[in-house]
Chains A and B, each alone.
Chain A
Amino acid sequence: MAETMRVIGDTLPGVDRNAPLLEVDSLRVEFQVRGERIPAVRGASFTLEQGRTLAIVGESGSGKSVTSQAIMGILDTPPGHITGGRVLLHGVDILEQDEETRRTVRGNHIAIVFQDALSALNPLWSVGFQIGELFRVHRGASRREAKRRAIELLDLVGIPDAKNRIGHYPHQFSGGMRQRVMIAMALALEPEVLIADEPTTALDVTVQAQIMRLLKRIQAERHMGLILITHDLGVVADVADDVAVMYAGEVVERADIYDTFKRPAHPYTKALLRAIPRVDAVGGELEVIRGLPPNPAALPSGCPFHPRCFAAEDVCADEVPPWIEPAEGHGSRCHFAEEVYTDER
């Protein structure tokens, strides 16, 4: 597809091709609720390299989806406000660009696949129209050209009989096929970064595997950066290269996939891994993390995880833990990161 080759500098001036694909640096997001500012993301930092998959893992309310919406620039404002940090795409801070440029970035460079494709697609327009819309708006394509490209995309994501399906409406597709349509739409303009926000949560297990394989295949073909937001550690183990664990609006641990699973350096990650049900441990009690995720309006003092932590000491309630790197490229926000990493705690 030579005619679609393009240079990122055309639409986003000042890019540095040597800089990391996407770098999120101490991103902060607050929500204005009844005059009160409630922090939803409190300094999320991570880096995504081209061709890699970064999994963002965390409980509901840990700020994973808000982070992705802030990166996309589709946060509902009000009540949400980005109050700090940088989002660098090839070294350019997209948070500082004007609205026109940001709109070009959306779809063109960063695209997102949402969780529930049935509600994320407009029920009154055919899938062909909704995919073709991207070519028409961003590329000035004709109706006919847009339709041709939409058919190609449906073929690409494995929807049989794409020629006829193009005129169908979202409600005429099954859950898995609808998610494929969502993916086709996100892939339309060949973005460098694809964010998949719990792409398989609404699907049944066999379809989940198909969708993940599809995402993985296309990512490899196009050498895209993929951010996978999920709470399913099984999926993470399957597809991710790097993992960022979020708790109470901040990234508490960041490492490659091997280290995360073998030698977690944060008690929260450790507890999450222990909570995975195992087929070879029949009869034993399933481990859980006691307590509930904290209320973002009233976070515990010190380390926000300390009330639920098995390794907590007095210092955890008083002091915010620093970012410690027990190994090269493996960081954790815990006072006892070294001990947890070496399994002394």
Chain B
Amino acid sequence: MGRYVIRRLLQALLTLGIVLFLLHYLMALSVQVRGNPALLFFGGDRTPDPAMLAQVERLYGLDNPCYERTGDPCLAPFVDRLQNFVRGDLGTTLNGNRDVAELLSIYIPNTLRLFAFSVITLVAVSMVLGTWAARHRGRFIDHTVRGTTILADSIPVFLILLTYVYIVAVPLTRWARDIWGTESFMGQVFRPSYNPDYPWTTIIVPGIIVGTVGLATMTRLIRAAQLENLGSDFVRTAKAKGLKPLRITVVHVIRNSMIPIITGIGFLFAFMLSGAVLTEGVMGIPGMGRMIFQAVQRQEGNLVIVGLTVSAFVVVVVSLVVDLLYAALDPRIRYE
């Protein structure tokens, strides 16, 4: 097991290295094709003094002649960048010269909050609906649950977001404020946009909306897993042993139903990352998704590279955790 983890971590390191190189190459291409981002430092539309421009280029590592040659992978700056990252220096932004590490410390917690709410929503809602549907297999409730979750899943997340922000949020907020007051939890929770004074409260609704991504998939996974285990021979054995229904459910059904659920969360994570970009954009949440999106627009090459590497890292870690959870849950799974 230990050797497996080490091998997986080395693989992860290699994956991250490849991601970094690809991002660097794309960034270099963008500089070579779109032009010098150092101009942005001076506001973009003014023509700066050549000496100052040269200084800024040196500061951001854009002075290498490879940036003049279209298609050059710019290996020397890539090595420089890696060395900086290893030292813990993530660089600064061109706009406003802000420290990237400091920006991450603001943006990452917001995205984590968003993910926490959406994972809770996804797991809680699909657990309840999936269990409910399994208990009433083939009956009205089962069909209703399937129909509703598929409908919720097939509406694009941005449509739900826009509907919420432009149609539902304002009257709901006004109604809640009239009753509970502006500063109360209820007065803030329905706001159509993020409020930095209430970093938890105003992320709940966007989190729930992101959580509907993959609801149908997850519900059906849970339904199938529970049905399989409820009808299984070992549940019959457990009944024959004279165990109470609650113990049968907790000890013999839930643990056996966890594997598909964990698989589901693992691969829905990637979908949720893309859902997060849209949600953070529409709801004005200063999170990683919005940061990367704006960085691309503003030609902040370094910021794009750091942001995407962080999300690649998260995906790699999540998939490793999922694989380790498999082995922890099912003794038949062994990694050698």
Check A269 for interface membership: any CB of B closer than 8 A: no
A75, chain B: closest CB distance, angstroms: 10
Check B58 for interface membership: any CB of A closer than 8 A: no
- The listed residue (B239, B240, B247, B256) touching A122 by CB distance below 8 A is B256
How many Å lie between the Cα of A126 and that of B255 in the bound state? 14
Q: B255 near A124 (CB under 8 angstroms)?
A: yes
Q: Which residue of B lies closest to A129 (CB)?
A: B251
Within 8 Å CB of A114, what residues of B? 233, 236-237, 240
Within 8 Å CB of B332, what residues of A? 123, 169, 171
Within 8 Å CB of B237, what residues of A? 114, 120-122, 185
Q: B241 near A124 (CB under 8 angstroms)?
A: no
Q: A122 near B234 (CB under 8 angstroms)?
A: yes
Within 8 Å CB of B251, what residues of A? 125, 133
How many Å lie between the Cα of A124 and that of B244 in the bound state? 19
Q: Which residue of B lies closest to A73 (CB)?
A: B239
Task: Given the known inter-chain contacts A123-B331, A124-B330, A171-B332, please indicate yes or no for A72 contacting B240, CB distance below 8 A.
Answer: yes
Task: Given the known inter-chain contacts A121-B234, A122-B256, please indicate yes or no for A107 contacting B331, CB distance below 8 A.
Answer: no
A72, chain B: closest CB distance, angstroms: 6
Pick out which of these stretches binds chain B: A98-106, A239-247, A259-267. A98-106
Within 8 Å CB of B331, what residues of A? 123-124, 126, 169, 171
Check A332 for interface membership: any CB of B closer than 8 A: no
B215, chain A: closest CB distance, angstroms: 27
How many Å lie between the Cα of A151 and that of B241 in the bound state? 18
Check B329 for interface membership: any CB of A closer than 8 A: yes
**Cβ proximity bits A295-313 to B, threshold 8 Å, 1 near / 0 not:** 0000000000000000000
Question: For chain B residues 241-285, which have a beta carbon within 8 Å of chain A?
Answer: 241-244, 247, 251-252, 255-256
By size class, the interface of chain B is 20 to 34
Q: Which residue of B lies closest to A171 (CB)?
A: B332
Q: B243 near A137 (CB under 8 angstroms)?
A: yes
Number of interface residues of A (CB under 8 A): 28
Q: B242 near A123 (CB under 8 angstroms)?
A: no
How many Å lie between the Cα of A121 and that of B256 in the bound state? 12
How many Å lie between the Cα of A112 and that of B240 in the bound state? 7
A76, chain B: closest CB distance, angstroms: 8
Check A119 for interface membership: any CB of B closer than 8 A: yes
How many Å lie between the Cα of A125 and that of B242 in the bound state? 17
Q: A106 near B255 (CB under 8 angstroms)?
A: no
Check B154 for interface membership: any CB of A closer than 8 A: no
Within 8 Å CB of A124, what residues of B? 255-256, 329-331
Task: Given the known inter-chain contacts A72-B240, A107-B242, please indicate yes or no for A137 contacting B234, CB distance below 8 A.
Answer: no
How many Å lie between the Cα of A339 and that of B141 in the bound state? 58
Check B53 for interface membership: any CB of A closer than 8 A: no
- The listed residue (A108, A133, A169) touching B243 by CB distance below 8 A is A133
Task: Given the known inter-chain contacts A119-B233, A123-B332, A124-B330, please indicate yes or no for A137 contacting B242, CB distance below 8 A.
Answer: yes
CB-defined A-B contacts under 8 Å, sample of 29:
A72-B239, A72-B240, A74-B236, A74-B239, A74-B240, A103-B243, A106-B242, A107-B241, A108-B242, A114-B233, A114-B237, A116-B233, A119-B232, A119-B234, A120-B233, A120-B237, A121-B237, A122-B234, A122-B252, A123-B256, A123-B330, A123-B331, A124-B330, A134-B241, A137-B241, A137-B244, A138-B242, A169-B331, A171-B332
Minimum-distance CB pairs A-B, first 6: A106-B242, A107-B242, A119-B233, A122-B234, A169-B331, A74-B239
Residues of chain B at the chain A interface (Cβ within 8 Å) = 231-234, 236-244, 247, 251-252, 255-256, 329-332
Other than A114-B236, A169-B332, give 8 A-B pairs with Cβ distance below 8 A: A74-B239, A74-B240, A103-B244, A106-B240, A107-B242, A111-B240, A120-B233, A138-B242
